[in-house]
Amino acid sequence: MTIHQNLIAGEWTGTNGSESINPSDTNEVVGLYASAGVQDVADAIAAAKAAFPAWSRSGILERHTILKKAGDEILARKDELGALLAREEGKTLPEAIGETIRAAQIFEFFAGEALRLAGEVLPSVRPNIGVEITREPLGVIGIITPWNFPIAIPAWKIAPALCYGNTIVFKPADLVPGCSWAIVDILHRAGLPKGVLNLVMGKGSVVGQAMLDSPVLSGITFTGSVGTGKRVALSSVEHGRKYQLEMGGKNPMVVLDDADLTVAVEAAANSAFFSTGQRCTASSRLIVTEGIHDKFVAALTEKLKTLTVDNAIKAGTHIGPVVDAKQLKTDTDYIEIGRQEGAKLAFGGELVSRDTPGFYLQPTLFTEATNQMRISREEIFGPVASVIRVKDYEEALATANDTPFGLSSGIATTSLKYATHFKRNAEAGMVMVNLPTAGVDFHVPFGGRKGSSFGPREQGKYATEFFTTVKTAYTLA
């Protein structure tokens, strides 16, 4: 099998590879991908540093053209890349193709942003002096991405970094290197100069740590676990570099008595269980007022009975496998914890067998949970959700906000009064009304508060806050 190599200083390199396994069919090796070492990371950082002066001063049309070309190719190959994503991560094929399209749209958006770079010209408070405020690229950016969105998250970090004139050392999650390799290959062939984008695949303990230890990186943008995010922050403070963290979530979906039951059930099912619940924006806490509680649980249980768990590539599959054996064990351990804590297992929770060997788990719904249980406090990152019964809106809002996280928060209601109040008072970076908590647009800011996020928002025009630095220049007329 051909080894997909790392890209360092414009050259494909690496002979030692590791296998990427299909979680829908563990007999299938999706691909063989090179594993970088500490020296590879050092070489990649040196290449990015050497390429920065020229790229940071490159013309906006050159950046636009490369980003547009990359977006066009990703879109043209959406079926092929979507199938690759489904095979390496386990997301259903329609979801995987949708994510691929989103990646293309992100590159398209930042191709346009490259032509819209702007600053300000202001008068000074002193006579005969002009003031110019401009944004300049930050420098060499370290990019570390997770396994749950193998093409969209790399896109929304790489595209703005390049748009604003930075150079990159990119480490994708070692579970899902395929889509990341494809993006780098596309950008390389689109005409990026040598050293502007460097790919170093491999273990976080080796590649990621070498990036954290480097004093050369001007910034690190990271999406992943809370624990690793704290390590990124500590190392960045030590080296005096900028950092951006997107970490966990324990997102609430509030359902009020006046909610449209069909809308509420669809939003909850999508939020909690689609993408196998492996989304940082997934709703794993369903906070339901007592007047609609029993009807909601009954309707959601019936909905779950209609969802098919199977091979991600197979037509008609609603929920694919869990990403790997380690994550599956985490999920089943939490299901047992929920039982021991006294929550009622209302649906699912069992491993299932299919035609191909894989990490298949039924969507799991607990009822009679409290907000103090571990299954309500800790991120599970699987198709597991808990229903928490509350008295009224006020208790629902207080329960929704009683969490160390603050990424996404949702409410199902037909009341303009409660919807408006919830949007203002939900302690989250993103709020959804009568919509799933997962699923966001590519042209607006993404991010949370509290333990979910740190630093400037991602995506849209707000990406400029992380990937650039501000300069103020004064000129005597």
Active site (catalytic) residues: 246, 280
CA distance 78 to 268: 28
Residue tagged 């092929």 (tokens): 80
Inter-CA distances, 19 with 26, 31, 43, Å: 11, 6, 24
Beta strands 242-246; 453-454: pairing state:
antiparallel
Q: How far apart are CA 426 and CA 444, in angstroms?
A: 19
DSSP string for 173-221: -TT-HHHHHHHHHHHHHTTPPTTSEEE--S-IIIIIHHHHH-SS-SEEE
Give the tokens for residue 256. Answer: 């009020």
Residue carrying the six token digits 């293309």: 104
Question: What are the residues whose beta carbons fall under 8 Å from the beta carbon of 421, sequence distance 6 or more?
Answer: 393, 397
> How do 197-199 and 219-223 pair as beta strands?
unpaired
Distance CA 359, CA 25 (A): 8
* Nearest CA-CA partner of 368 in 395, 342, 402, 401: 342
Q: How far apart are CA 27 and CA 413, in angstroms?
A: 46
Distance of CA 286 to the CA centre of its chain: 22
Angstrom distances, CA of residue 92 to CA of 74, 259, 384 = 18, 29, 18
Cα–Cα distance for residue pair 156/105, rounded to 1 Å:
10
